[in-house]
Amino acid sequence: MIALGCDHAGFELKQFIIKHLEDRGIEYKDYGTYSTDSVDYAVYAEKTARAVAGGECTLGLLFCGTGVGISMAANKVRGIRAACCSDMFSAEMTRRHNDANILCLGGRVVSPEKAIELVDVFLDTPFSGEDRHARRIAQITELENRF
Ligand code: RB5
């Protein structure tokens, strides 16, 4: 189950990706927002990130204008590793090396076609599980626990 969330600036891209997930037969839960009316991205970052951190969803996709603000907010939720990506290499490696659990995309940055590619590589790439990457992720968690 994939968690989805966006603000007004990411709404149209989220809708486009929903259609793509449906075409692929991938189940999702949409935590809003549900229109282009202006909203605050932290609200939807929290709803979506909680669903991933709590285990209700395995991975999440977040959308705002740049992907940046919504990733900053999502990363405040314990256990979330949200990555804002606009290139294929980063979107793949953030799964393989960082075990990122949320991909953040900018509706004003990437085209719908590029977003599909980024989403697919993110969802289809596993964490490598290699010791050095597991150790580094554990250090992120440990850092989180100190604050
Ligand atoms: C909203 O205008 C915009 O600031 C927001 O979607 C996002 O880009 C912030 O990082």
Q: Which atom of ligand 1 is nearest to the CA of 9?
A: 6
CA of 71 to the centre of ligand 1 (A): 11
Q: Is the CB of 39 under 6 A from ligand 1?
A: no
Instruction: Please give the Cα distance from 115 to 19 (Å, whole number).
Output: 12
Q: Whose CA is nearest to atom 3 of ligand 1?
A: 65
Residue with tokens 């285990």: 55
Which residues are within 8 A (CB) of 18 and not within 5 positions of it... i.e. 6 or more apart?
A: 4, 28, 30
Model's pTM, two decimal places? 0.98
Q: What is the tens place of the pLDDT at every residue in 9-27?
A: 999 999 999 999 999 999 9
Strands (E), the chain: 2-6, 28-30, 59-64, 82-84, 102-106
Contacts 24+ apart (CB under 8 A), 14-17: 14/61, 14/63, 14/107, 16/112, 16/115, 16/116, 17/61, 17/63, 17/115, 17/116, 17/119
Q: What is the tens place of the pLDDT at every residue in 83-115?
A: 999 999 999 999 999 999 999 999 999 999 999
